[in-house]
Amino acid sequence: MVGARHQIRKNLLSGLGIETKMRWCNPSSEFYRAFTCGATLLLCAASAQAEGTPIPHGTLELIARNQWIVAGHTLDLGLRFQLEKGWHIYWVNPGDSGEPPRVEWQLPTGLTIGAMEWPTPRRLERSSFVDYGYEDAVLLIVPLHAAASLAVQPPAQLGAQVRLLVCSDEMCIPGKAQLSLTLSVKSQSPAPNAQTIDLFTATRKSLPRPAPGNWRFTVADANDSFVLSSNLGRRITQAIFFPLAESQIEDAAPQKLLPVATGFRLTLRKSDQLLKPIQRLKGVLLFSDDQSYLIDVLISKPGIVKSGSSIGIRPVQSLKEGSQI
């Protein structure tokens, strides 16, 4: 199993890339449909009116939330993917196979890029593999920081070279795109772009949020599994965990949920690639009320720990060695 998984990744990254595999499988169809429908419809409707750069089985476009850049302010950029039906791209942790989009930025002096913000993914299943990713349409948000010393100047040329893997249930195709966007630099207050503001608003609603500070989580190391327990003050009957780091849990193994009066217990089988102990379990929890939350929990044998209430998605940069996103 381990050798086969590594060979799949090697083939995909070398561009050989035809792989018969995976299809979207909803463990709870109504659960996923309700969670993704609103944002996807907005993205699809807007993308139908815009012409993006061609990628395998779709288009990709670099857009901005505001009309111009202002010194000392942060501006949201977005990579807007529009994919043909039946094709998908990957989350920051792609799961058992695949690769997330990777970006190399070309920016003028005084502008810097922050860490990409990833909407909650979906599970992509086949018999012995599970991946994490997006289908139809998705907007990946990237903050652009303008230095306070940035002077009003001619329009700034922003460039991004994107490498990605686009897959269906029968094959994967590597692709790349060179994107560009020109924005003015002004001293007046930022003004939203009427053509893109709804896309950014809808996407922000689909981003996982920090877990509330009064929630409590523990993770017990149970030999071949991690047992994630919670005290949220209410009974939880549906929950799916997406690990931020690869090769910690067995992605394709069933996640066994036991509802309790104040929360849940979720048993996650360890990955057969996890060769040494880990200190923390980081990831995204998706509940049946269409809300997703970021958690960062110390692993104990056993013990009581608190959730990391201030965790954000940005630390995944350190979890993906060599990531240029």
DSSP 59-96: EEEEEESBSEEETT-EEEEEEEEEE-TT-EEEEEEEES
Round the average pLDDT of the chain to a whole number and report it: 83
Q: What is the pLDDT of residues 243-280, one digit of tens each?
A: 999 999 999 999 999 999 999 999 999 999 998 899 99
Number of other CB atoms surrounding residue 197 within 10 Å: 14
Same fold: 2-205 with 209-319: yes
Q: What is the pLDDT of residues 24-57, one digit of tens each?
A: 334 344 444 444 443 443 344 333 334 689 999 9
Structural contact between residues 32 and 45, judged by C-beta atoms closer than 8 angstroms: no
What is the percent of the chain where pLDDT is above 90? 69
Distance CA(71)–CA(63), nearest Å, equals 19
The residues with which 197 forms a beta bridge, in sequence order, are none
Q: Which residues of 233-242 are buried (b: 16+ CB within 10 A; e: fewer)?
A: eeebeebbbb
CA distances from 42 to 61, 121, 197, 201 (A): 15, 17, 11, 10
Architecture per CATH, 2-205 = Sandwich (2.60)
Residue type for position 192: P
Structure tokens at 143: 């903050």
Residue type for position 108: P
Distance CA(3)–CA(256), nearest Å, equals 26
Report the relative pairing of strands 58-64 and 280-287 from DSSP bridges: unpaired
**pLDDT band at 126, cuts 50/70/90?**
confident
Domain boundaries, the chain: 2-205, 209-319
Q: Residue 181: enclosing H or E segment and its boundaries?
A: strand 172-186
Distance CA(180)–CA(203), nearest Å, equals 21
Structural contact between residues 95 and 12, judged by C-beta atoms closer than 8 angstroms: no
Distance CA(31)–CA(238), nearest Å, equals 9
Output the pLDDT for position 1: 45
* 53: exposed, middle or buried (Cβ count in 10 Å: 0-12, 13-18, 19+): middle
Domain 209-319 class? mainly beta
